[in-house]
């Protein structure tokens, strides 16, 4: 059965003979993996250049219960993040976000609110003229809110340690190493209320940014069953 969907490209995996698998997050069907035949064929109309991570497309998908993978039959680009592709800071963030989403979105159920958040975030990242050094941190906090994973209570002077395993702020550091110290915990608590549209208002001391990022990655590994990422290493070099 053919479906026309709005989709965000998360990952393109080349196969031999010009074939490929593309992972899409769609408004209508959630996460969908599609087979592409003849990626560079003249008649297909599908090019790898139009399937870069975080490109927003209109796609025609052939999805049948008898097949493990859907097939991408046609596509048109709705929004290509040109500014992202030309800026090392933005492109590093985009690669990180795409890998993050690929690892933590596992459900094929429809989630239009999540789709709209990711869609709007891509456009904001592409079009902003603000410094983007904290964009990925604000994005992760907003994403955790969509997943219902934000800590259950708030940072206070009495509860200054964020226990990453339990997802709570508490009075003392836990016996295990998965926690953040007060300065980092307070920063996360403050930033967690910022919408992605206000990412540039979030202030993170450069001395804390790496520890906060590592803490959030550990948090996602624990609470979203996410495998460890690799692209954050590039972010640490850029910012």
pLDDT in tens, 157-182: 999 999 999 999 999 999 999 999 99
The residues of the chain that CATH labels 1.20.1440.120 are: 83-238
- Predicted confidence (pLDDT) per residue in 31-65, tens digit: 999 998 877 555 456 878 789 999 999 999 888 76
Q: Quote the pLDDT of residue 182.
A: 97
CA distance 138 to 48: 30
User: Residue 95, Cβ neighbours under 10 Å: how many?
Assistant: 19
Residue of 139 and 230 predicted with greater confidence: 139
Tokens of residue 170, six digits: 């508490």
Q: In angstroms, how far is CA 59 from the centroid of its own chain?
A: 20
Sign of the torsion angle spanned by Cα atoms 148, 149, 153, 154: negative
Phi then psi for residue 33, to 5 deg, are -105, 130
**Burial (CB count within 10 angstroms: exposed 0-12, middle 13-18, buried 19+), residue 87:** middle
CATH of domain 2-80: 2.40.50.140
The residue with tokens 């953040």 is 180
Tokens of residue 69, six digits: 């993978």
Give me the torsion for CA of 195, 196, 198, 202, rounded to 10°.
Answer: 90
CA distance 231 to 163: 25
Determine how β-strand 168-170 pairs with β-strand 179-180: unpaired
Q: Quote the pLDDT of residue 95.
A: 95
CATH fold for the domain made of 83-238: de novo design (two linked rop proteins) (1.20.1440)
The residues of the chain that CATH labels 2.40.50.140 are: 2-80
């Amino acid at each position: 059965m053919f479906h026309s969907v709005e989709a965000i490209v998360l990952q393109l995996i080349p196969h031999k003979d010009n074939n490929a698998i593309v992972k899409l997050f769609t408004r209508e069907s959630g996460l969908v993996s599609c087979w592409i035949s003849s990626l560079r064929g003249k008649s297909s109309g599908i090019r790898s250049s139009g399937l870069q991570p975080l490109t927003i497309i209109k796609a025609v998908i052939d999805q049948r219960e008898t097949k493990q993978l859907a097939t991408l039959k046609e596509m048109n680009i709705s929004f290509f993040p040109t500014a992202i592709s030309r800026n090392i800071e933005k492109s590093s963030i985009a690669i990180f976000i795409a890998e993050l989403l690929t690892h933590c979105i596992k459900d094929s159920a429809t989630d239009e609110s999540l789709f709209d958040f990711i869609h709007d975030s891509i456009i904001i990242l592409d079009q902003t003229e603000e410094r983007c050094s904290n964009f990925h941190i604000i994005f992760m906090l907003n994403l955790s809110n969509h997943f219902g994973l934000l800590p259950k209570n708030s940072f206070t002077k009495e509860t200054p340690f964020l226990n990453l395993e339990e997802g709570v702020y508490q009075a003392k550091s836990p016996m295990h190493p998965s926690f953040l110290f007060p300065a980092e915990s307070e920063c996360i608590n403050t930033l967690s209320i910022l919408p992605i549209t206000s990412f540039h208002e979030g202030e993170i001391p450069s001395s804390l940014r790496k520890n906060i990022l590592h803490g959030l990655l550990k948090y996602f590994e624990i609470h979203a069953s996410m495998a460890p990422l690799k692209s954050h290493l590039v972010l640490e070099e850029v910012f």
